[in-house]
Chain A
């Protein structure tokens, strides 16, 4: 089994095919989208491949250490150009092929007009622990 991170972006990803902001959909289209996402996660729980999923708020801050006895320096909100992550799902699957397949399904979530969004998702393998048997 190998773990993969599926990343969804607010911005920074290549444009989706069906690229209409959600507030321009109909309320029914939003419901259909939310249902699709919920069903997807539920199905992965049933197959034993779901690990975690979270959504992130769009606002955020850069923070860094500024030396002994000083409060950390903060900068933000994020600049408009910054790649902005909207949320993630962690899956634990048997192969990279399976991970790609699932990411493709997630990207097919319905959007405006009930048509698939064809949204670009970022698929990142986790670095794993070293194997017990090495020779």
Chain B
């Protein structure tokens, strides 16, 4: 709600209350889709009313208004009359806590029956409290398209019972996707992902949740240093480390340490450990590549992911020299994304600039985003200029 929050309203507070308010409505027996609409309406109402008249208990205010909106909508729908009466008569089932409400909502919005794009959209709206328009802008799709995606997602999960805990890994995957979308438009999705992961970490005690939060903080800490004033990508080794956000680094490292102490390693903790080792090095030359290789070994063991193997080859190239890196690379599938870019880098470090220049140009043609393409083309150009061609 960055651009739509009037003065005098605490936007982050308002949005942080969203999941628990929605949880209360669902616990009282409202079906999820109708409850979610009612909460969105209450949020809009809050933006209108709060600047002039801030309630003493914002959460209670939101629950009251959302519940009233839900009942109004249910009443207006004649077909729902019977269910509405049942809801009104039914006392709230048991004293469930805010924590349970919030957690159930995360699981519901990341339910395995949803496609990744639907889960992302639903999480941002129902848990994050973003408006459909904001989500649409962030993903550069028309608002009508996003509205459709969200209402289909709500229909998909309408029949899901909320009383069983889900698999936290599905929730983490959704949050990871949101984080990776980064920043486009007026909503900072990386910051939003961090907020939602922090909120999740507050209600569930799981080392991988902490691991993901640490990973996000450590990457977010480098964001300003990752882009040159002209918009060009700045690779890790060339970043001005003085521009890293030391507070975010310190927080990420502390959270990771706590998670690793639990001795239940997972992929996000391993990735965060790599990021922490980079954050720890005062200069690129002082990076502890040997330890980084060990963490990639863990990551390969945990996930068997080809991307982890590719990153491991880069780390081997730094720890044991470019020829060792090329040997590790030779065992991988050449059609992997970024394979050619890695090969170019390792050949350059091995002293074969001509081959590297050709590979950088080839990698640029395969790049999946424009900034990456420009970066790789510039690398080819840098070598060609030095080779005098």
| A residues in contact (CB < 8 Å) with B | 21-27, 29-31, 34-35, 38, 55, 57-59
Contacts and interface: CB of A to CB of B under 8 A. Distances in A.
Given A26-B385, A31-B232, A58 B378 contact: no
Contacts of A26: 381, 385
Contacts of A31: 230, 232, 378
Interface stretch (B14-22, B188-196, B361-369): B361-369
B78 to A, nearest CB: 38
A34 B381 CA distance: 14
Interface string B353-377: 0000100110011101010011001
A36 B197 CA distance: 39
Given A35-B230, A38-B231, A25 B370 contact: no
A128 to B, nearest CB: 19
Contact of B382 (A21, A27, A34, A38): A27
B380 A34 contact: no
Nearest to B369: A55
Contacts of B199: none
B381 A23 contact: yes
A23 B364 contact: yes
A34 B384 contact: no
B264 interface: no
Contacts of B389: 24
Given A23-B357, A55-B370, A30 B381 contact: yes
Contact of A34 (B230, B357, B364, B365): B230
A24 B381 contact: yes
B360 A34 contact: no
A57 B374 CA distance: 13
7 contacts: A23-B380, A29-B381, A30-B374, A30-B378, A31-B232, A34-B232, A35-B230
A59 B42 CA distance: 48
Interface in B141-199: none
Nearest to A33: B374
A34 B361 contact: no
A29 B385 CA distance: 11
A30 B377 contact: yes
Contacts of A23: 357, 360-361, 364, 377, 380-381, 384
Interface in B317-376: 357, 360-361, 364-366, 368, 370, 373-374
7 closest A-B pairs (Cβ-Cβ)? A23-B380, A23-B361, A27-B378, A27-B381, A26-B385, A27-B382, A22-B377
Given A21-B361, A34-B374, 20 more contacts: A22-B364, A22-B377, A22-B381, A23-B357, A23-B360, A23-B364, A23-B377, A23-B380, A23-B381, A24-B381, A25-B381, A26-B385, A27-B382, A27-B385, A29-B381, A30-B374, A30-B381, A34-B230, A34-B232, A59-B366
Contacts of A55: 370, 373
Contacts of B361: 21, 23
B338 to A, nearest CB: 14
Contacts of A21: 361
A30 B382 CA distance: 10
A54 to B, nearest CB: 9
A90 B325 CA distance: 44
A58 B370 contact: no
Contacts of B384: 23-24
Contacts of A22: 364, 377, 381
A17 to B, nearest CB: 20
A53 to B, nearest CB: 10
Nearest to B383: A23
Nearest to B385: A26
With a 10 A CB-CB cut-off, give which of A21, A22, A23, A57 has the most chain B CB atoms: A23
Contacts of B370: 55
